[in-house]
Structure 1
């Protein structure tokens, strides 16, 4: 991974150039070039024609310099593996890499900078061709040290990294937080609580969106309704919701910043028999099957993994375009809990 942003595309055509010329996906070009996987004869002919037209050649020198090219593996370093969000992201990334002929070594750091540093070193030591990393809040300048002579490309996903430049694929967390809060405001709510799971980036941006939506609507932010949870567990969210709804001046609506927190909010409000509007960030299994289906702000998690994998394939192929920062949109799915009017 380079410590400097490339200043332009290489004059040497890449597989992405071939894909654009042939009108096919990058993984299709990879299959044809590497002779891995099934491709329709007509499609393969288009790819070969595009290769001839633009003069594409595999960069065998670069491939030989990258330690991972012998094993055709990449490393995928995630956060909490029990989180369905990361499971969905990983599934999509693995499928793209498998289609291109790469195996995936999966690792997790559990938000611990030292564990992450060791995991990155171990993956590079296993001669991976590239890395997809969900970074923690630590300084990632160490990548220049463990990465040797800039040999292993890196793509960050879900969060940007500090101290390191690379391609990154994100979700519009701030926009999603603003959408969720504005939805509740539009349904008449003025006392809107927010439960915030710990995160140096994602839930912090969702909180920022919450504040912006309230200010935009002329509503003062009541800091007593901003509840930061130490670990972000379902149990903490349930306890916090119970405390909020039994307070002298309870909120009429709650915005929960993760699916784990949404589960806790629903559990506590049902136990209390409270009529409270709820919007959660991130969808979860059976959210649409509950007696009152859950309104959520969500994004295409699989697309997050796919985009990261495609970016990494392009870098492995020698692409030198400026680093990309891709932000995927979020959308609100109104199902019932977020449309409850205040009482």
Structure 2
């Protein structure tokens, strides 16, 4: 297993020993119905009375029961299905795609199939996809979480399902995680623009309900506040949150730089926001006048005019570390949970080096 960056690991209590999964017979006993009725509810037979369905579902939730949808011929002698689940923000996003490929490559070398799905930053979809994967008896899960409450996974952990989180920490759950140095990296990116002579630096950000977005905005504020004594200020009109698509970022950047008192530099919090902002600057003919540093790399960023300066996360490295952690747990590693912090890399390509006004 790869080591974490020194000083970046935190420890917690060792995961609980696996317990046997509850059976349909136990569900029948708790709900006060027959085993046949439980079977019909599990198989969604429409003729079961609604009040009986409600009783069975309540008992299933209380016991943490999950139906086994995996075909018996997929079971191996070791009791595993040799499948793992991977839940990412969006498989079409370059960051998610790189994580996916790294996990898939590592799993393939171990003869394990990866079942993946996009979450679209939807907490309910996250819970639904986790239930679907656990119902298929995946041996473990790697999750880029959309939810801020992961207590629903406690029953799965207790039943022996290994879970590793990527990009964001689980809350309040204890579990292995692989994350980026979001706050410090964002601070370094804004300081890079300050060093180039910019005093008015705008911020275009993702949904601020996301931990990563909050951390990156905090890094932006840290850098600007540290420079307050030199006359640097943050105009609330220069800060825009909630940008989820390139189109939204394009529109926000166009409005921002159409103002008479427009800032001279821009920090963007994720790759789709960066792409949208760059499109707006090129269309407006400002791409050689307005400096930009973006969080997250994206394909062909270095080929634009100018190349886009980014804080490049290492998603492939993060995905590989997450896979190593997961497979170690599957092999019986009972050590305390760890958080691995992977540093971002400042890639100077031209856009972030455009000098500020005299």
Report the TM-score, using the length of structure 1 for normalisation.
Answer: 0.78
1:247 maps onto 2:259 in alignment: yes
> Are 2:335 and 1:325 aligned?
no
Q: Is the 8 A contact 1:288 1:294 kept in 2?
A: yes
Q: Which residue of structure 2 lines up, in the alignment, with residue 174 of structure 1?
A: 183
Q: Give secondary structure in 2 for the equivalent of 1:131.
A: strand
The residue correspondences of 1:184-333 to structure 2 (distance < 5 A) are 184-198=193-207, 199-218=209-228, 219-229=232-242, 231-274=243-286, 275-333=289-347
Is the CA contact 2:293–2:310 (under 8 Å) kept in the aligned structure 1? yes
CA contact (8 A) 1:68 1:74 kept: no
Task: Give the number of aligned pairs.
Answer: 284
Deviation at 1:182, TM superposition (A): 0.3
The two structures have a TM-score, normalised by structure 2, of 0.75
Give the Cα separation in 1 of the matches to 2:108 and 2:316. Answer: 15
In structure 2, C-alpha distance between the alignment counterparts of 1:177 and 1:68, rounded to whole Å: 46
Please, which runs of 5 or more residues in structure 2 have no aligned partner?
1-10, 18-75
Give the superposition deviation at 1:70: 2.8
Does the 8 Å CA contact 1:157/1:304 hold for their aligned counterparts?
A: yes
Q: Deviations over 1:148-198 (max 9, x none)?
A: 733111001111121311000001111111111000000000100010011
1:237 Cα deviation from its structure 2 partner: 1.2
Q: Could you tell me how far apart the structure 2 residues matched to 1:328 and 1:107 are?
A: 24
- Stretches of structure 1 lacking an aligned partner (at least 5 in a row): 11-65
**CA shift for structure 1 position 309:** 0.3
Out of 100, 106, 126, the residue aligned to residue 96 of structure 1 is 106
| Deviation, structure 1 residue 68 | 8.7
Q: Residue deviations 1:123-164, cap 9 Å, x none? A: 11111111111111331101123x173311100111112131
What CA distance in whole angstroms lies between the structure 2 residues aligned with 1:109 and 1:252?
35
The CA RMSD measured in Å over matched residues stands at 2.3
What is the SS of the residue equivalent to 1:116? helix
**Partner secondary structure for residue 188 of structure 2:** helix
Q: Is the 8 A contact 1:67 1:127 kept in 2?
A: no
Cα distance between partner residues in 1 of 2:88 and 2:101: 12
CA contact (8 A) 2:199 2:233 kept: no
Asked whether 1:6 is paired with 2:13, we answer yes
Aligned counterpart in structure 2 of residue 155 of structure 1, from 158, 164, 176: 164
Distance between the aligned counterparts of 2:348 and 2:299, measured in 1?
A: 16
CA contact under 8 A between 2:200 and 2:233: conserved in structure 1? Answer: no
Query: Highest CA radius of gyration, 1 or 2?
Result: 2
